[in-house]
Amino acid sequence: MAEDKIKLAVYKFSSCDGCQLSLLNLEDELLDLVGAVEIAYFLEARRQVLDPPYDVGLVEGSVSTPEEAERIIQVRKDCKTLISIGACATSGGIQALRNWADAELYKQTVYAHPEYIDSLDTATPIGAHVFVDYELRGCPVNQYQLLELISALLTGRRPNIPTHSLCVDCKRRGYACVAVSKKQPCLGPITQAGCNALCPKFSRACYGCFGPMEQPNIHSLGKMFAEKQDCKPHQMKHLLRSYNGYLEPFKQASEYYEQIEQE
């Protein structure tokens, strides 16, 4: 029976394991998933490892070490379909903050024996190294979006993953706009939906954990923050340099605000 199932592999690169845990936390749905796929490689969940090739590979984490830069090439060869999951895998994650800093200086400052640290000067997303068939955003990834994507692959249909802004979800749920009611610099207007508007639900500003929506108007939002909330260029830069700071729209905008800050 296992021979009729698709073979699923789940890989970890530089990350916190949160996206893998999102898959394990599906609980009842995971039982149905296990009935439909053969988990061939998933060190977080089982010891048994089946030989490649694999039909579907899920990759969590960024490429942050020389070993990972080599390993992702082999992972791509082993998987017919490759999916990067979570902020680290799709944008470089928090560790990509090193891309704007002196990584060598950080090592010398933080570690007692920096000579033991073998890391790259930059942390980059999976898609910067190999072709990726699908990307799922989030920190952590939305477990139901992950289930939707795997289900779509099983049935040969297009996955239904939203790309609209978080503001749409807030309006649908009747949440008050924190940018207006509390005058907080909320990134909801430029952030892709996927978290079910968790932070605005508790009257907190969105900080962009699902990355930029399609065609985000960051300049317009920054102008509003400056006029209504006296938000300075360095504040906008820090707002954009978070979980998804190295995704191109956020990256370009943050570097623009950094340039203004220095003038």
- What are the pLDDT digits (tens) for 44-69? 988 999 999 999 999 999 999 999 99
Q: What pLDDT is attached to residue 31?
A: 73
Backbone angles phi, psi at 37, to 5 degrees: -130, 160
- The model's pLDDT over 72-100, given as tens digits with 9 standing for 90+, comes to 999 999 999 999 999 999 999 999 999 99
Confidence of residue 1 (pLDDT cuts 50, 70, 90): very low
Domains, the chain: 2-155 (3.40.50.700), 166-262 (no CATH)
What is the C-alpha end-to-end distance of the chain, expressed in Å? Answer: 66
Q: What pLDDT is attached to residue 3?
A: 56
CB atoms under 10 Å from CB of 97, counted, come to 17
CB atoms under 10 Å from CB of 32, counted, come to 12
Instruction: State the average pLDDT for the chain.
Output: 93
Distance CA 227, CA 231 (A): 8
The two tokens of residue 106 are 């950080």
Q: Find all residues with CB under 8 Å of 85, minimum gap 6, and list them.
A: 19, 58, 59, 60, 135, 136, 141, 146
Instruction: Among 3-12, 67-76, 196-205, 230-239, name the one with the lowest average pLDDT.
Output: 3-12
- For residue 53, the 8-state DSSP code is P
Tell whether the model's pLDDT for residue 4 goes beyond 80: no
Would you tell me the crossing angle of helices 143-155 and 28-36 to the nearest 10 degrees? Answer: 30
Helical ranges in 5-113 per DSSP H? 18-24, 28-36, 66-78, 86-91, 103-110
Tell me the mean pLDDT in the region 13-27.
Answer: 92
Cβ pair 240, 206 in contact under 8 A: no
Residue 55 is which amino acid? D
The two tokens of residue 247 are 């995704």
Long-range contacts, stretch 42-47, CB < 8 angstroms, 24+ apart: 42/8, 42/9, 42/10, 43/10, 43/12, 44/10, 44/12, 44/17, 44/20, 45/10, 45/20
Confidence of residue 134 (pLDDT cuts 50, 70, 90): very high
Q: Which of 83, 40, 80 is nearest to 61 (CA)?
A: 83
- The model's pLDDT over 149-175, given as tens digits with 9 standing for 90+, comes to 999 998 899 999 999 999 999 999 999
Distance CA 85, CA 117 (A): 26
Confidence of residue 242 (pLDDT cuts 50, 70, 90): very high
Q: Which of 166, 204, 78 is nearest to 130 (CA)?
A: 78
Q: What pLDDT is attached to residue 32?
A: 80
Question: How many residues are present in the chain?
Answer: 263
Tell whether the model's pLDDT for residue 107 goes beyond 50: yes
Tell whether the model's pLDDT for residue 34 goes beyond 80: no
Tell me the mean pLDDT in the region 122-128.
Answer: 97
Q: pTM score > 0.75 for this model?
A: yes
Distance CA 78, CA 214 (A): 31
Tell me the mean pLDDT in the region 110-123.
Answer: 93
